[in-house]
Amino acid sequence: MTMAPKITLYYMPVSPASRSVVLVAKTLNIQLDLREIDISRGEHMTPEFLKLNPQHTLPALDDNGTVIIDSHAINAYLCDKFAPNHSLYPKDLVKRAQINSRLHFDTTLYARIRYLYEPIYEGSSKMPANNITLVTKCWDILEAFLANGNFLCGNELTLADFACICNFYAINSFAPVDRRNHAKLIRWIQRMGEIPHFYKVVDLEESKAHQRYIRYLMETNSTF
Ligand SMILES: N[C@@H](CCC(=O)N[C@@H](CS)C(=O)NCC(=O)O)C(=O)O
């Protein structure tokens, strides 16, 4: 009997982009060979990993020699390969364009989160207030996206929802949602929690622990 070639996902459990891929794979029942890469130990900068992914980011997917980097590209690839025309990423021109536009928005959201975290990893003790505002502005935008339905692209759950919710939980204690102005966003966050596998993949304790670690770094950085 020949074995189906394995699809390997290089990932890190706490990474929001990695989580969105694991969530999509679990939702579509796609078996992935999960290989954890520890960024804190520099495992993403080894010559072997850089050969696979010169951008040295997680997640990265290796489907029998076809390497795809970037969570959004990976999720689109997995849908098109294993669940073509699934409602998560339908082929309809307009629906897909709308999902793509939200996925690009998510890349902006993630970049704003990185602007907050990276200086702390590099020894800074403060997150500039302006940069926190840039993230909270994304909550306003998500609220506006939700004007048209229960999910970010209307009433169907799509790849855009998986991407944005994972990033939300990466930063929510530093950039909390103002409940008074974000009723739709709060309901969407609750709705996302009802999705099968959600809390197994998006481990809230792990997310909180990571954000506590960032606070700890801010305190210890300020003593130097
Ligand atoms: N837009 C990328 C972002 C990936 C990304 O930056 N991942 C972080 C971890 S959450 C990473 O790998 N950082 C290490 C680095 O950039 O060297 C995606 O969606 O995959």
Q: Does residue 43 have its Cβ closer than 6 Å to ligand 1?
A: no
Domain stop point among 52, 82, 112? 82
Task: Report CA dihedral (187, 90, 21, 137) to the nearest 10 degrees.
Answer: -40
pLDDT digits (tens, 9 = 90+) for 32-77: 999 999 999 999 999 999 999 999 999 999 999 999 999 999 999 9
Report the DSSP pairing between strands 7-11 and 60-63: antiparallel
| Domain of 67, in residue numbers | 7-82
Tell whether 34 and 128 lie within a shared domain: no
Q: Does residue 107 have its Cβ closer than 6 Å to ligand 1?
A: yes
CATH number at residue 66: 3.40.30.10
Domain stop point among 82, 108, 128? 82
pTM beyond cutoff 0.85: yes
Which amino acid belongs to residue 144? Answer: A
Tell whether 78 and 155 lie within a shared domain: no
Measure Cα distances from 33 to 13, 42, 72 in Å: 14, 21, 19
As for how many domains the chain has, the answer is 2
Tell whether 135 and 185 lie within a shared domain: yes
Q: Does residue 120 have its Cβ closer than 6 Å to ligand 1?
A: no
Q: Does residue 71 have its Cβ closer than 6 Å to ligand 1?
A: yes
Q: How far is the CA of 18 from the centre of ligand 1 (A)?
A: 8
pLDDT digits (tens, 9 = 90+) for 104-118: 999 999 999 999 999
Tell whether 101 and 39 lie within a shared domain: no
